[in-house]
Amino acid sequence: MFISEIKLLGFIGLKSNGNKHYILRVLPFLLALIFVLVVGNQSLSSSPKTTEILWDTYGVPHIYGKDNQSAFQAFGWAQMQSHGNLLLHLYGQARGRAAEYWGEKYLESDHWVQTMGVPERSHSWYLAQSPKFRRYLDAFASGINAYAEKHKDLIADEVEIVLPVKGEDVLAHQMRVLNFTFIANPEEVAGVSKQQSKPGSNGWAIAPSHSENGHAMLLANPHLPWSDLFLWYEAHITAPGINAYGATLVGIPVLAIAFNDNLGWTHTVNTYDGWDNYELKLADRGYRFDGQVRAFKTKTLSLKVKQKDGTLHSQKLVVKSSIHGPVISRKDGKAVALRVVGLDQPGVLQQWWDMARSQNLTQFQAVLQRLQLPMFTVMYADREGHIMHLFNGQVPIRQQGNFEYWQGLIPGDTSKTLWSKTHPYQDLPRVIDPKSGWLQNTNDPPWTTTFPQVLNPDNYPPYMAPRGPMEFRSQRTVEMLAEDDKISFDEMVSYKHSTRMELADRLLDDLIPAARKYGSELARRSADVLSAWDRQTNADSRGAVLFAAWVDAIDFDSVFSKPWSEDSPLTTPDGLANPQSAVTTLSTVAAKVEKTYGNLDVAWGDVFRLQSGDVDLPANGGDGGLGIFRVLNFVPLSDGRFKSVSGDSYVAAIEFSQPVKAMALTSYGNATQPGLASAGDQLKLFARKQLRQVWFSHQDVLSHLAERKVF
């Protein structure tokens, strides 16, 4: 092929009769043609002889593997090139040796990881993998090591101590992320009761009957912190049996949210309970269980802690375990044991891999039925027009109690409260192809996935999921989906960027007249600002700052005159319980807003900012608790403004047309390594409420090629 292109160049040159200017004009185009033909010939073959990574101009790796093992190795290389320092930091923490590597500030992390048995269990998980998938994990690790060896100068000196990485490090990281962060977060476990303020997400599946073009569509939109182990990594993997595009968390060797030519899925954090704290009754150096005294299982570990002078200090960690699980220390002095699901089910990575290789709903469900993925809603759509919402998770089979009961401290002296099995796939709430033509989840319980409601909570164990209330963000998403009979792809993208505040729509009709009736001059001016406000949190929205500050100051649980009701899930709660008190709070808040920002109608984007590196842009979107679909969460800065730190992190909008159509955005960019492209370009798109086209075809990738790596 290459020789024939050289001949073509020579022929053009001869025909030009030696006209050098002519040759110089056509030469760039000919070279580009040669490059595309040569690269295309090497990459489009059904059995390519090499493996390559084609990096597009947004830093997304498109991996073309000659076989699956080579694709895993290339993916390890790609993640190191984009996030090498972060990845090695995360793997060091998953080993429970971070304090040994980087000092005492990581000691608490090591205590958690070692007490939970992550390093030891990762070895047994590694041995439990199929021989083929074990080779894939080893290949991913070898890609990490190969990049680090080739590019030592690009890896921070402090993280090189983690090298070399092994396959079981990958599993330890996965376990720490899923089982001991998402399911059992150490901060939640340390409290007496569980908190429901977990990372969030939006997910939509739209059937052909509800779409303008007659194709099923999918919207993926997780909301996670913009740092650490929560960072998404966007990628495209093609190898024998797979051609999938999506995203995964840094350090995970397979795509966790993805689509191929025929189907796709996303995840949302579901209202799921996969862990429990058991209070133990101590007796005779043991604990009571079913009328007998049992001895604790005890092991003593030695943790090393790096000192400021570089020396290592050893520290003992004594881990006691009951029949329930490891004993954790408590502030109140009680002995409490932690039980977490999924520790005997090590196949989630292979399940995700096989989900991406599935080609229809039957195959996809067969993979889901393994239930190796310990939590997360699955929202699905495909080319054949099917849509599905699965309340996925390893849900413990419990003998008693509703969802609220299991949020507290559980008696640990009886087998009546000790669960040992989880529900099979057929027990889980699931909706396929509803008459409404759409499904949604915004971290609400599964019962409100579509309207008219299909799932009846009375048909499931009372501990499966809570029964309400339906949050305002969920009500907002249902309103957008239900009110548009035929949604186009562009409309779905537009709805994704909606910053309208459902809570404002619910309360301003009471608050504004109350402020004018009961309020001071300042309250009446506030009413004027709120009346003129567009009830959105766009960068130029004026009034949103005042309203959000008022919401932050009220007692949210008691502000409504009409509480949420299962009978009216989309119109309750509603009304002000105490209008005069609400106005008093408004006056207080208004005085602070005016003093801080100089006026009451300060623009939302002047106060709330998108910041990354040198980029500082006005934000749009806000807290989902306000009923905003476009979720952003902020932390205060020293000057009275706020900086985004979590929320919309990865977005993908997919239409299963022929060919598949997709747009996406990784808000903070696709790399954290120094010297690589920062979040700037994508954050600028974020600020403009835009997604970028996904380059899924090989030709599109070549047309937007920034770098090529051949193995």
Looking at 24-28, 237-241, 463-467, which range is the least confident one?
A: 24-28
pLDDT (0 to 100) of residue 168 = 98
Is it the case that residue 659 has pLDDT exceeding 80?
yes
Q: How far apart are CA 177 and CA 181, in angstroms?
A: 5
DSSP 581: H
DSSP H/E element including 666: strand 661-666
Is it the case that residue 197 has pLDDT exceeding 90?
no
Query: What is the average per-residue pLDDT within 132-157?
Result: 98
Q: How far apart are CA 585 and CA 576, in angstroms?
A: 13
Task: Enter the tokens of residue 334.
Answer: 């009680």
Is it the case that residue 14 has pLDDT exceeding 80?
no
The per-residue pLDDT of the chain, averaged, comes to 92
CATH code 3.40.50.10800 for 200-273+347-406+414-494: no
Query: What is the average per-residue pLDDT within 458-476?
Result: 96
Q: Would you say the pTM of this structure is higher than 0.85? A: yes
Mutual angle of helices 167-177 and 68-94, in 10-degree steps? 60
Closest C-alpha to 606, from 543, 695, 663: 543
Is it the case that residue 486 has pLDDT exceeding 50?
yes
pLDDT digits (tens, 9 = 90+) for 690-709: 999 999 999 999 999 999 99
pLDDT class of 25 with cuts at 50, 70, 90: very low
Residue type (1 letter), 62: H
pLDDT class of 10 with cuts at 50, 70, 90: very low
- DSSP for 84-96, written as a single string: HHHHHHHHHHHTT
| Residue 398 C-alpha from the chain's centroid | 29
CB atoms within 10 A of CB 467: 16
Looking at 13-17, 205-209, 258-262, which range is the least confident one?
A: 13-17
- How far, CA to CA in Å, does 49 sit from each of 44, 65, 66, 275? 11, 9, 6, 47
CATH code 1.10.3720.10 for 502-620: no
Q: How far apart are CA 145 and CA 134, in angstroms?
A: 17
Per DSSP, the three-state class of 571 is: coil
pLDDT digits (tens, 9 = 90+) for 629-642: 999 999 999 999 99
Domain ranges for the chain, please list them.
2-43, 200-273+347-406+414-494, 502-620
Query: What is the average per-residue pLDDT within 595-607?
Result: 97
Is it the case that residue 24 has pLDDT exceeding 80?
no
Q: Which residues pair with 382 in a beta bridge?
A: 263
Is it the case that residue 20 has pLDDT exceeding 70?
no
Is it the case that residue 28 has pLDDT exceeding 80?
no
Is it the case that residue 12 has pLDDT exceeding 70?
no
pLDDT (0 to 100) of residue 193 = 54
Q: Between 430 and 46, name the one with better pLDDT.
A: 430
| Residue 53 C-alpha from the chain's centroid | 24
Q: Between 187 and 384, name the one with better pLDDT.
A: 384
Query: What is the average per-residue pLDDT within 404-431?
Result: 97
- How far, CA to CA in Å, does 114 sit from each of 124, 282, 283, 600? 15, 23, 26, 52
pLDDT (0 to 100) of residue 678 = 65
DSSP 670: S
pLDDT class of 107 with cuts at 50, 70, 90: very high
Mutual angle of helices 579-597 and 502-518, in 10-degree steps? 100
pLDDT digits (tens, 9 = 90+) for 53-67: 999 999 999 999 999
Q: Between 338 and 615, name the one with better pLDDT.
A: 338
CATH topology identical between 200-273+347-406+414-494 and 502-620: no
Looking at 149-153, 274-278, 322-326, 611-615, which range is the least confident one?
A: 611-615
CA dihedral 666, 672, 677, 680 (to 10 degrees): 50
Q: How far apart are CA 241 and CA 249, in angstroms?
A: 23
pLDDT digits (tens, 9 = 90+) for 162-179: 999 999 999 999 999 999
pLDDT (0 to 100) of residue 349 = 98
CB 393 within 8 A of CB 428: yes
CB 599 within 8 A of CB 526: no
SS3 content of the chain, % helix, strand, coil (to 5): 40, 25, 35
ω into residue 164 within 30 of 0, thus cis? yes
3-state SS string for 673-701: CCCCCCCHHHHHHHHCCCCEECCCCHHHH
DSSP H/E element including 672: none
DSSP 574: E
Query: What is the average per-residue pLDDT within 13-31?
Result: 40
Q: How far apart are CA 696 and CA 233, in angstroms?
A: 16
